[in-house]
Amino acid sequence: MRIKNRLAEKIAGEITLSPCPGKTIRKWREIFGVSQTELAKTLGISPSVISDYEAGRRRSPGIQNIKKMIEALFEIDEKRGGKTLHKYTSMIETREGILEIMEYPFSIPAKLFTKAIKGRVVNSSSSIEKKSIKGFTVIDSIKTIKTLRPSDFVHLYGWSTERALVFTGIQYGRSPMIAIRVHPVKPSIVVYHKPNSIDPLAIKLADMEDIPLVVTNLPLKELIKIMVELGEKGNGIDGSM
């Protein structure tokens, strides 16, 4: 199954590249809603082994053990009806307009994230000090707002709503904030990439939702590179989940 292969590669890559492999294992175990005991039973090992990996008391498992863990998560999910795998399938099928999407294996303070992308908060939200980022989605604003159905909007959030929604191709920024305003699921922050200007209504809506509205003028390739590296390096970043 192509979707399973893509998801397996994604999970294995995150665990292997993570500066905190145990925390990443725990993240994916919790995404699948599997307990340490259930995972250990499927693998035929002691729950303490899983606990030791996740707590960092054991060295990162080798690629073969990571592969077995992923297969066990899939096996458990499929016995339950494949809910998580189906969710990932839906995300893949609605990727039109999504230029890049990534989950972080740890939380990144929103203020640090904003500084890294050379961003500037343009509204009066004070919540940036309290918010964290667990992933980002880069969105072609014009294509996505025109083609995405309300029921599909949630797929922009990947595996966590604690993320940055980064809109590029912005004219005035009104439509993205209207879409966010009417949808019950909210991101941690919204980033406008090189907007022509910002409609006062967009700023007002961001204030009403208490969502930091950030503007960055970095070239798109550089912006994506920085956001990806934040998830791969984790230097100086709080690794709590």
pTM of the model: 0.64
Beta pairing, strands 132-140 & 98-109: antiparallel
Claim to verify: residue 75 and residue 35 sit in the same structural domain = yes
Whether residue 190 sits in one domain with residue 150? yes
Model confidence pLDDT, tens digit, residues 168-191: 988 888 888 888 888 888 999 999
Do 28 and 140 belong together in one domain?
no
Phi, psi of 20 (to 5 degrees): -130, 75
Look up residue 141 and give its two tokens: 């604003």
Most confidently predicted of 85-94, 130-139, 151-160, 227-236:
130-139
- Give the Cα separation of 15 and 72 in Å (integer): 15
The arithmetic mean of pLDDT across residues 209-236, rounded, is: 86
Per the structure, the count of domains in the chain is 2
Quote the domain boundaries for residue 155: 96-233
Residue 241 domain flag? no
Decide if 188 is inside a domain.
yes
Query: Worst-scoring range by mean pLDDT, 4-13, 101-110, 202-211?
Result: 4-13
Last residue of a domain, one of 67, 87, 107: 87
Q: Which of 42, 70, 87 is the last residue before a domain boundary?
A: 87
Is the distance from CB of 214 to CB of 122 less than 8 angstroms?
yes
Q: Are 141 and 180 in contact (CB under 8 A)?
A: no
Which range of 22-31, 80-89, 214-223 scores highest in mean pLDDT? It is 214-223
Given a cut of 70, whether residue 150 has pLDDT beyond it is no
Q: Are residues 105 and 135 in the same domain?
A: yes
Scored b (16 or more CB within 10 A) or e, 24-61 reads bbbbbbebbebebebbbebbeeeeebbbebbeeeeebb
Q: Do both 53 and 118 map to the same domain?
A: no
CATH number (domain holding residue 207): 3.40.1390.20
pLDDT band at 157 (very low <50, low <70, confident <90, very high): confident
Whether residue 224 sits in one domain with residue 186: yes
Last residue of a domain, one of 34, 65, 87: 87
Same-domain check for residues 69 and 134: no
- Residue 20's pLDDT band (boundaries 50, 70, 90)? confident
Q: For residues 34 and 159, which has the higher predicted lDDT (pLDDT)?
A: 34
Angle at 128 between CA 162 and CA 33, to 5 degrees: 20
Q: pLDDT of 190-214, one tens digit each? A: 999 999 889 999 999 999 999 999 9
Instruction: Check which CATH number belongs to the domain holding 21 and give it.
Output: 1.10.260.40
Whether 239 is in a domain gets the answer no
Query: Considering only CA atoms, which of 148, 160, 141, 151 is closest in space to residue 220?
Result: 141
